[in-house]
Amino acid sequence: MNRITEWFLNQKPLKIFLLSLLGIPMYFWLFSIIYQLDKKRNENQSSIKNMIVGLVAFYPIVYFFFFIGFFFNLFGGNSLDIFDFIMPFHLTSILCGFILMILGANSYGKYEKEKGHKTYEAVGVFFMLWFYIIGIWVLQPNLNKYINE
């Protein structure tokens, strides 16, 4: 896991931007921010926090494949009753994405404050992660620098 997370944080912003258009790598990128910056801060993470971060990061990825199956099933002529079944899982996936952004923003902000770098408020980092089309260009060069410290 360490090599994957380091790989995501050592890439150029353009590569992360292009990968994020696929959707799934975005969750890996957010997970990498939390994992690597907390590790660099030597934060003693409890196993409960690690479990929550892992669940929140990988639930949307697993759900994505179920959603694709639902999407093809919808055009296969089956009824829309399945939509009522899948909606709670879809909303849970969206909630997981927001929780991941909040945790990523907190990890980023805490790392910058602890190391004495130019600090962004956690709210600002959250919005940069949410609107990643702009945020990647601001955050990724800093992440490259922080990982290589």
What pLDDT tens digit does each residue of the chain (149 aa) get? 677 777 778 888 888 777 776 777 888 888 888 888 888 887 666 778 788 888 999 999 888 888 777 777 666 665 556 667 778 888 999 999 999 999 999 989 888 888 887 777 888 888 888 888 888 888 888 888 888 87
Look at the alpha carbons of 10, 54, 133, 125 in this order and tell me if their dihedral is positive or negative. Answer: negative
Report the 10 Å Cβ neighbour count for 74: 14
The first and second tokens of residue 65, run together, are 């494949």
pLDDT score of 82:
67
pLDDT score of 98:
93
- Distance CA(31)–CA(24), nearest Å, equals 11
pLDDT score of 102:
93
* Distance, CA of 142 to chain centre: 16
The single-letter code of the amino acid at 12 is K
- Distance CA(52)–CA(78), nearest Å, equals 35
**Cβ–Cβ < 8 Å for 18, 55:** no
pLDDT score of 76:
61
**Cβ–Cβ < 8 Å for 139, 16:** no
Continuous segment of H or E residues that includes residue 30: helix 24-40
